[in-house]
Amino acid sequence: MLIKTRQAFRDHDVTDPAIFQSRRVLLKAMGLAAAAPWTLAAATQTRQSIADANAVTPARLVEQYNNYYELAFDKESVAQLARHIAVEPWQIEIAGEVEKPGLYRLEDILRDHPRQERIYRLRCVEGWSAVIPWLGFPLADLLKRAQPLSAARFVKFTSAAQPEAMPKLRAGAMLDWPYVEGLRLDEALHPLTILASGMYGRDLPKQNGAPLRLVVPWKYGFKSIKAIVKIELTRRAPLTSWSRYAPSEYGFYANVNPAVAHPRWTQTSERVLGSDFFTPRRKTELFNGYADQVGQLYSQMDLNHFF
């Protein structure tokens, strides 16, 4: 199974030079090797058929098929519209229940937190999936820098709001802007949770969330908020954008779970991005295949509910 192995991590397992160039190294975040003896598995592309659900998804597909509702409601026009988003200069505000609130320049964050390569499966709540090699660092590292207070229980994330570059903000369409997402603090501190500033060996394209986005691989993709400008630690769970818009369809937790259907469609299987009508759908796995790593976070919860 992709990304769930005890084998050694080798450079030639990770990167096919025909796809991208990368110098990323063995993942060792928050003492992960000691706490949970696993490493990221090899996911090679080479000449494998797109029917191989564990192959890295071609970059051109991931860059041209995007949900970014600040820009458009269809996926195909997002890449073109995203060109107008301003990503320099960029800073992240860290606020709330922390010892050291403040504004952090992106260049300082990336200097202090070297990027690692993480190959994760992204599972969209709409029923499709892709395997993406991200470049990022553990969110926990940045939160530790701000020193969370004992009262902190949740983490609230806020996206950039640029009405001049984002047509749906000007129109006041659909969601309440800016886009807001959230995690429990223990989810945010988990070693799998990263802040990504790149993919496929290069910086993030704007349509994929540049310059900095969240990636939480065991949750549906709408939890992995793009273009983050603020991170706030809170005592109570934040009201997230999709939960506000349709609480019966998009819960706060949004963990991938094939046993619990979305109110309007099943979640038992997924279409691998780039596959055609004749390609069998992939069976969806609990927690998107990361149950061994994150299942203990929800041991006291009833997993028969979407939320």
Show binding-site residues for Mo-molybdopterin: 66, 69-70, 124, 159, 208, 213, 224-226
Q: Per the structure block, which two tokens stand in for 85? A: 């988003």
At 131, which amino acid appears? V
Strand order in the sheet with 228-234: 102-105, 91-96, 228-234, 154-159, 180-184
Taking the alpha carbons of 296, 301, 303, 307 in that order, is the dihedral positive or negative? negative
CA 215 to chain centre: 2
Of 271, 287, 288, give the one whose Cα is nearest residue 128: 271
Task: Show binding-site residues.
Answer: 66, 69-70, 124, 159, 208, 213, 224-226
Q: Which residue has the tokens 């590292």?
A: 141
Q: Per the structure block, which two tokens stand in for 43? A: 């996911």
How far is 157 from 27, CA to CA, in rounded Å? 25
Q: Per the structure block, which two tokens stand in for 170? A: 């000007």
Burial category of 307 from C-beta neighbours within 10 Å (exposed 0-12, middle 13-18, buried 19 and up): middle
Burial category of 264 from C-beta neighbours within 10 Å (exposed 0-12, middle 13-18, buried 19 and up): exposed
Per DSSP, which regions of the chain are E strands? 91-96, 102-105, 116-123, 128-138, 154-159, 180-184, 194-199, 202-203, 213-215, 228-234, 269-272, 282-283
